[in-house]
Amino acid sequence: MTAPFRICFVCTGNICRSPMAESVFRSRLAEDGLDGLVEVDSAGTGGWHEGDGADPRTVAALRAAGYETAHTARQFHASWFDRLDLVIALDSGHLRALRRLAPTPQDAAKVRLLRSYADEGAGEGAGEAHDLDVPDPYYGDFAGFEECLEMVEAASDGLLAAVRTSVAARTVIQARAPESDDDHRPAPAPAHPQEKESA
């Protein structure tokens, strides 16, 4: 049986951007028929909001667009890297913090910026990392949350395409494994390219 492909979206407090990304991407997976093969969750680099629901403005933006809104905030832990295939950072600050937290270089390579998937063929080398940030809407008005949602939606399609490819490759590798008596190596990892101030 193929192990699920696991993704965690990470922002600062896990009440604004990352729960938004989690909800949007879960919807994309369901539409694409991959929801049974991919597990998605989210967390924050800090634990200030642990146990809280999403920010009411996040809930309102998601609800208006027809997405699920149930959420409980939690903090990301380094021990999670071992079970995750991708760790998706919402901005360059999260990217740096997560890569510092990663126990190994292989774990650090799992951390990617969400908006690096926004345009086909675009990667983190397509500009400065901060140009790929999803701006923190926490201290702004509701329009900032709507803008955040638009950025998340735009990047989610590219991320879905990358995950679909990784899941297909993993399935093929694992399906072929029994044919080889002398090769029982595990499937390779998919190749793909603070303080309380926000969520």
Instruction: Give me the active site residues, please.
Output: 11, 17, 136
Q: Count each helix (H run) and each strand (E run) in the chain, helices first.
A: 5, 4
Structure tokens at 5: 């492909």
The conformational region for residue 46 under phi > 0 = left, psi -120 to 50 = alpha, else beta, is beta
Q: How far apart are the two ends of the chain, measured CA to CA in Å?
A: 37
- Residue 100: count of CB within 10 angstroms of its CB: 10
